[in-house]
A and B are shown apart, each in its own frame.
Chain A
Amino acid sequence: MKSKMLKINKSARSSIITVGMILIAYIICQALIVTGNMSNLLKNLLVSMCYYAIMAVSLNLTVGFLGQLSLGHAGFMCLGAFAGAIFSKCTVNAIQNTFIRFTLAILLGAVVAGLFGIFIGTVVLRLRGDYLAIVTLAFGEIIKNVLNVLYIGYDSKGIHLSMKDAISLNLEDGGIVLVKGAQGISGTPRDATFTVSVILLLITYLIIVNLVNSRSGRAIMAIRDNSIAAESVGINITKYKILAFSISAALAGIAGVLYSHNIATVQSSKFGYNLSIMILVFVVLGGMGNLRGSIISAVLLTLLPEYLRFLRDYRMLIYSIVLIVMMLYNWAPACVAWRNKLSSNLAAMLKKSKKEEL
């Protein structure tokens, strides 16, 4: 048994553990639901934990593996949410099968967000570091602002667009307004079940694990560690940056589709800079470049504020302190020295206790 375990390489074992964790958590939750032991509060959180975990895992690809700070991740989620919701609302009568309709909505959301990811990736390619962060922030805000004033409606003549108000859509009698500017979309069918969300989380995780452990993944990490050196050994930086960026965006789009099919009303104002930062906190707390960490921290940080009500007012304050402390802990010379001292002390203690045992 043991020799068989050792044959599987380290990364594969790590992903098996993560998948196992997700599955066990899923089975426990299902058991609680079936036996009626789950509170309504937790039931409402199940799907949102999944889409936040998807967001965190996908952002980790850009931040942790590609090493570029993206502050517009919520913008991709917003695109996915709107694309998926519009599709489901239009086809709710045409496609009766929920599974097919929702699958198509997910694909559409992923494609729309992914295409924008390619577009934005191409645009920001020339930029590095800080500038890239600020441009992704700008894109996120543009997406939010434009969707905030966008009106979409449809009637027998097709789809109408307007940036002013619902009346200027000039719909025929019986035409339906799909997107009502700042009020967003409401009445999307609630197709996002817990099971589907967990499956999507697993798919997302496996896509990224596979990417990271492939040749492309190594190229992406080489760009993170030293882009000039990577370029000099023949890695096509442009290609891999766009690849990572668009996959990350497409997966955020999937999270968006889940979001819009879980909640009564989707408003673009919810997908601001704040949401992007929250996802960034998940990634930073879970460890940049650590996918399992992202999932765990996304789940915990979604659950904790709901259960520790007194913490609610302080939630964002704690997030901000987490960001600062984690960065100082990882990089400040004093902290690094303290950590090294601590670990060497610990190692010495372990050695001593082992000797005593012998």
Chain B
Amino acid sequence: MNFLTHLLNGISLGSVYSIIALGYTMVYGIAKMINFAHGDVIMVGGFIIFTLMSTLGLNPFFSVLAAMIVCTLLGMTIERIAYKPLRKAPSLAVLITAIGVSYLLQNLALLIYGAESKSFTSVIPVKALSLLDGRLSISGETLVTIPLCIVIMIGLNFFIKKSKTGRGMIAVSEDKEAAVLMGVNVNKTIAITFAIGSAIAAIGSALMFSAYTNLSPTSGAMPGIKAFVAAVFGGIGSIPGAMIGGILLGVIEILSRAYISTQLGDAIVFLILIVVLLVKPTGILGRKIQEKV
């Protein structure tokens, strides 16, 4: 039964990774850059929910909604100020800027909230479920997280395949110049991508910090990097890939923490990244990208 509990925890953590990975995978697909600051947007979302709920005593639902709005604006602002002027710059410059933005958010949070970690109150009102005479207990967070993440995935997939904006995104990720000729507004499409990714990140942050309640200015960085690993694992640019990659990574992380070593969990996750990139650099569901001369 222990194994089943770990497995469920893994799937739950993995679902959070997979919706955070959506932000990376969409941005990478369209703007061809790693948005290093994505993990820190999650942290900002966490602090906003924390402030609204614990300090102002607001209802969890509205707190999460407010965090979604703030994160959306934050994501769009970051894109507008830091990334948009660098569209034509070499990828090294963009990557360094993204790292700079990530650091900026962390240190602003550090100045406002201090370094010691806050205890996040769960936003999920569901009680834990006890099965098989109490031998298997499933937390309320797990019960909500898994279905909610699946709904978000399906919804987003539907949005991208069916809506005009979504198809614009596909067009931009296929070929920017051709998309412009087809009447797609590239700048607007990229801004919308950042907005959607950041809004979903706020939901991810609510779910993640409800399950793992330590909230500090640096607590977004590691999950962010792991979500990126998940995106690479599943094949960057692919939404179902982010789902598969995220869940696999979550399960592997929890199981290796439980059965191999608590402290080496992160090292094992990174080892997986390296192995995946060596064996199949395009990930599980990714396509091969040919470099143009």
Name the A residues within 8 Å of B33 (CB-CB): 130
Residues on the A chain within 8 Å of B232, using CB? 131, 134
Q: Is the CB of B264 within 8 A of A130?
A: no
**Is B89 in the interface zone, CB < 8 Å from A?**
yes
In the assembled complex, the CB of B275 is this many whole angstroms from the nearest CB of chain A, namely 10
Bound together, the chains give a CA A69 to CA B93 distance in angstroms of 10
A173 to B34, CA, bound (A): 53
Q: Are A131 and B96 in contact (CB under 8 A)?
A: no
What 1/0 flags go to B51-91 for Cβ under 8 Å of A?
00000000000000000000000000000001001101111
- Are B103 and A137 within 8 A (Cβ)? no
Q: Which residue of A lies closest to B85 (CB)?
A: A332
Q: Which residues of A contact B267 (CB under 8 A)?
A: 141-142, 145-146
Choose the segment among B104-112, B130-138, B183-191 that binds chain A (4+ C-beta atoms closer than 8 Å): B104-112
Q: Are A130 and B101 in contact (CB under 8 A)?
A: no
Contact B274 A138 (CB under 8 A): yes
A135 near B277 with CB under 8 A, answer: yes
Closest approach, in angstroms, between the C-beta of B185 and any C-beta of chain A? Answer: 19
How distant is B115 from chain A, measured CB to nearest CB, in Å?
Answer: 11
Interface size, chain A (Cβ < 8 Å): 47
Given contacts A126-B278, A149-B263, A317-B108, contact A280 B96 (CB under 8 A): yes
A277 smallest CB distance to B (angstroms): 6
Neighbour of A135 across the interface among B90, B110, B273, CB < 8 A:
B273
Q: CB of B4 within 8 A of chain A?
A: no
Q: Does B139 touch A at the CB level, under 8 Å?
A: no
B99 within 8 A of A: yes
Say if the beta carbon of A284 comes within 8 Å of chain B.
yes
Interface centre among B103, B110, B263, by most chain A C-beta atoms within 10 angstroms, is: B103
B112 to A: closest C-beta gap in Å: 11
The answer to whether A324 and B34 touch across the interface, beta carbons within 8 angstroms, is no
Tell me which of A149, A323, A333 contacts B100 (CB under 8 A): A323
**A159 CA to B188 CA, complexed, in Å:** 61
Q: Are B281 and A127 in contact (CB under 8 A)?
A: yes
Whole-angstrom CA separation of A112 from B270 in the bound complex: 21
How far apart sit A67 and B111, CA to CA, in the bound complex (Å)?
34
Tell me the bound Cα distance from A63 to B104 in angstroms: 22
Q: For the complex, what is the distance from the CA of A69 to the CA of B36, rounded to whole Å?
A: 14
Find out whether the CB atom of A134 lies under 8 angstroms from the CB atom of B264.
no
Which one of A127, A145, A323, A331 contacts B277 once the chains associate, using CB atoms below 8 Å? A127
Binary per-residue interface labels of chain A (287-331) against chain B in the complex, 1 for a CB within 8 Å, 0 otherwise: 000000000000000000000000001101101111110011011
Q: Which residue of A lies closest to B293 (CB)?
A: A228
Q: Let me know if B95 and A133 touch, CB within 8 A.
A: yes
Asked whether B271 lies within 8 Å of A142 as measured between CB atoms, the reply is yes
Q: Which one of B96, B266, B281 contacts A327 once the chains associate, using CB atoms below 8 Å?
A: B96
State how many angstroms separate the Cβ of A273 from the closest Cβ of chain B.
Answer: 8
- Residues of A contacting B91 in the complex (Cβ-Cβ under 8 angstroms): 129-130
Asked whether A148 is an interface residue with its Cβ less than 8 Å from the other chain, the reply is yes
B291 CB–A CB distance under 8 Å:
yes
Proximity string of chain A (321-347) to chain B, C-beta cutoff 8 Å, 1 when within and 0 when not: 111100110111111000000000000
Whether A149 lies near B86 (C-beta < 8 A) is: no
Contact with A141, one of B28, B107, B110, B266 (Cβ below 8 angstroms) = B266
A27 interfacial contact with B, CB 8 Å: no
Binary contact readout A178-203 vs B (1 if CB under 8 angstroms, 0 otherwise): 00000000000000000000000000
> In the complex, what residues of B have CB within 8 A of residue A273's CB?
221
Are B93 and A330 in contact, with the CB atoms below 8 A?
yes
Q: Are A320 and B86 in touch, CB under 8 angstroms?
A: no
Across-interface contacts of A319 in B (CB, < 8 A): 103
A73 to nearest B CB, angstroms? 13
- Known pairs A327-B86, A327-B97, A330-B93; A141 contacts B263 (CB<8 A): no
Q: Is B92's CB within 8 Å of the partner chain A?
A: yes
Closest to A278 in B: B103
Give A146 to B264 CA distance when docked, in angstroms. 7
Counting CB contacts under 8 A, is B228 at the interface?
Answer: yes
Residues of B within 8 A of A146 (CB): 264, 267
A333–B82 CA distance with the chains assembled, in angstroms: 12
The 8 A CB mask of B232-249 against A (1 = contact, 0 = none) is 100000000000000000
The answer to whether A149 touches B264 (Cβ under 8 A) is yes
Min CB distance A323 to B, Å, is 3
Q: Give A334's nearest chain B residue, CB to CB.
A: B85
Assess A277 versus B103: contact at CB under 8 Å? Given A130-B34, A135-B274, A332-B86.
Answer: yes
Identify the closest chain B residue to A142 (Cβ).
Answer: B267
Decide if A148 touches B85 in the complex (CB within 8 Å). no
Instruction: Kindly state the separation between the CA atoms of A289 and B80 in the bound complex, as whole angstroms.
Output: 29
A63 touches B100 (CB 8 A): no
Q: Mark A157-192, 1 if CB is under 8 A from B, else 0.
A: 000000100000000000000000000000000000
A63 B92 Cβ-Cβ under 8 A: yes
Contact residues of B between 218 and 239, Cβ < 8 Å to A: 221, 225, 228-229, 232
B89 contacts A331, CB within 8 Å? yes
26 contacts between A and B (CB under 8 A): A67-B90, A71-B99, A123-B274, A126-B278, A130-B34, A135-B274, A139-B270, A141-B270, A145-B263, A145-B264, A149-B261, A149-B264, A228-B293, A273-B221, A280-B99, A284-B96, A314-B107, A314-B111, A316-B110, A317-B104, A320-B103, A320-B107, A323-B103, A327-B97, A331-B85, A332-B86
Contact residues of B with A, CB < 8 Å? 28, 33-34, 82, 85-86, 88-97, 99-104, 106-108, 110-111, 221, 225, 228-229, 232, 261, 263-264, 266-267, 270-271, 273-274, 277-278, 281, 291, 293
Starting from the known contacts A67-B90, A123-B278, 20 additional A-B residue pairs (CB-CB under 8 Å) come to: A67-B92, A131-B232, A134-B225, A134-B273, A135-B277, A141-B270, A145-B267, A148-B263, A314-B107, A316-B103, A317-B104, A317-B107, A320-B104, A323-B103, A324-B100, A328-B97, A331-B88, A331-B89, A332-B89, A335-B85
